[in-house]
Amino acid sequence: MKVAIVPGDGIGREVVPVAEGVLRYIRPEWDYYPVEVGYGRWERCGAAIGAEEIRALSEADAILFGAVTTPPDPDYLSVLLQIRHDLDLYANVRPVRGPGVDLIIVRENTEGLYSGIEWSLPGSACTLRVVTERGSRRIARFAAGLVKGGHLTIGTKANVIKSDVLFRRCVIEEAEAAGVAWEEKYIDALCLDVLMHPARYGVIVTTNIFGDILSDAAGYLVGGLGMLPSANIGDKHAFFEPVHGSAPDIAGRGIANPVAAIRSAALLLAHFGYADEAVAVDAAVNAALAAGVRTPDLGGAASTVQVGEAVIGRIREWMS
Ligand code: NAD
Ligand code: IPM
Ligand code: MN
């Protein structure tokens, strides 16, 4: 296995080494290599990512990513969006797990309001929301494939946005073809209901930006953004990253919560068939948290590195 390690910016540089340490502890024989992308690279050489980095990422079996800083500058293209697009990572899978909560948000990851088709005019700016039948059907099949006995929830704004009428129809057709029960909710009501009644939900499928917003909001259920991992999956590539960003407000202080990044490493293990190891990593995280080894966002006083050490200590016990 070739694993590209991409810390990125801000706390990505603090949490990724911890998650990488967990992976290396479990699979020391894999080939790990660093790839530099992000704002730091942009400041240094005027581009957040180059052709060489894209090639290095596409040659990896798996990518472990941290976070990048993306300033609201019309000339700055998010490197993350470029990678998701170039590697065709169409399914953004965001599990939200904790006491009383076990749901997965499946976010379409290549189109919608993130089409990249946008332009500015004097006095106005336009972004084109693109929803295709191909894109909707493949994310629907992916999400339906994750439903185990329960039902699929479809989040749209099909009452007002015509592109969501297409999305809705494609998802319903694919769910029915897969023999998966479905329900639908408008995304605004869904955001609230997920927070009020999380146990009602299993797999939720939605379009790109709705999934972005819903997943951060769902962090409320499990202790915040520091807890949520994600997988970006395509037919050829697999990319694992925390849901959170580069958190410039706490970067450089050694207090970022590494749990989201460690759980992303667990998703990587599970994706490549190391199910027992993935379960062991998640269990080690939960045991460390239960023992009070927590960063300040969770009310504790542990550092990023201390949480990593506590998790590895428990994995060591599991392995011996
Ligand atoms: P953010 O997720 O970086 O931070 C939001 C809040 O959550 C901050 O108060 C931060 O301190 C806290 N937080 C996030 N992760 C945490 C962790 N692991 N431990 C403790 N606290 C944590 O979102 P933002 O502030 O809206 O964005 C900051 C920058 O990150 C922006 O440039 C944005 O574009 C970028 N961003 C990148 C990604 C990514 O690379 N995947 C995702 C989201 C935002
Ligand atoms: C995420 C982030 C990204 C997104 C940004 C940084 C491009 O918020 O991964 O959730 O909007 O998808
Ligand atoms: Mn987001």
Percent of the chain at pLDDT exceeding 70: 100
Indicate whether residue 261 lines ligand 1 (CB < 6 A): no
List, for residues 255-283, the tens digit of each pLDDT value. 999 999 999 999 999 999 999 999 999 99
Q: What average pLDDT score do residues 195-217 get? A: 98
Q: From the alpha carbon of 212, which atom of ligand 2 is closest?
A: 10
Percent of the chain at pLDDT exceeding 90: 94
pLDDT of residue 109: 98
- Sequence ranges of the domains in the chain: 1-89+234-320, 91-227
Amino acid making up residue 175: A
pLDDT of residue 168: 98
Say yes or no: ipTM exceeds 0.95: yes
Query: Residue 241 CA: which ligand is closest?
Result: 1
Cα dihedral 19, 259, 110, 175, rounded to 10, equals 120
Indicate whether residue 260 lines ligand 1 (CB < 6 A): yes
| Distance between CA atoms of residues 207 and 109, nearest Å | 8
Indicate whether residue 241 lines ligand 1 (CB < 6 A): yes
pLDDT, greater one: 40 or 278: 278
pLDDT of residue 44: 87
List, for residues 213-227, the tens digit of each pLDDT value. 999 999 999 999 999
Above 80 in pLDDT, residue 72?
yes
Query: Residue 84 CA: which ligand is closest?
Result: 2
Separation of CA 104 and ligand 3 centre (Å): 15
Q: Whose CA is nearest to atom 42 of ligand 1?
A: 245
Separation of CA 316 and ligand 3 centre (Å): 33
Q: What average pLDDT score do residues 134-145 get? A: 98
Level-2 CATH architecture, domain 1-89+234-320: 3-Layer(aba) Sandwich (3.40)
Separation of CA 213 and ligand 3 centre (Å): 6
pTM (two decimals): 0.98
Q: What average pLDDT score do residues 166-175 get? A: 98
Above 80 in pLDDT, residue 74?
no
75: pLDDT confidence band, cut at 50, 70 and 90?
confident
**Helix 187-196 and helix 208-218, axial crossing angle in degrees, nearest 10:** 20
Q: What average pLDDT score do residues 102-129 get? A: 96
Q: What average pLDDT score do residues 76-100 get? A: 95
List, for residues 186-195, the tens digit of each pLDDT value. 999 999 999 9
Q: What average pLDDT score do residues 48-62 get? A: 96
Between the alpha carbon of residue 171 and those of residues 150, 165, 213, the distances in Å are 16, 10, 20
Q: From the alpha carbon of 39, which atom of ligand 1 is closest?
A: 32
Decide whether 1-89+234-320 matches 91-227 in CATH topology.
Answer: yes
Task: Assign domain 91-227 to a CATH class.
Answer: alpha beta
pLDDT of residue 198: 98
| Distance between CA atoms of residues 293 and 126, nearest Å | 47
Taking the CA atoms of 48, 232, 225 and 252 in sequence, report the sign of the dihedral they define.
negative
Above 80 in pLDDT, residue 107?
yes
| Distance between CA atoms of residues 152 and 154, nearest Å | 6
| Distance between CA atoms of residues 209 and 112, nearest Å | 7
Separation of CA 212 and ligand 2 centre (Å): 7
Indicate whether residue 246 lines ligand 1 (CB < 6 A): yes
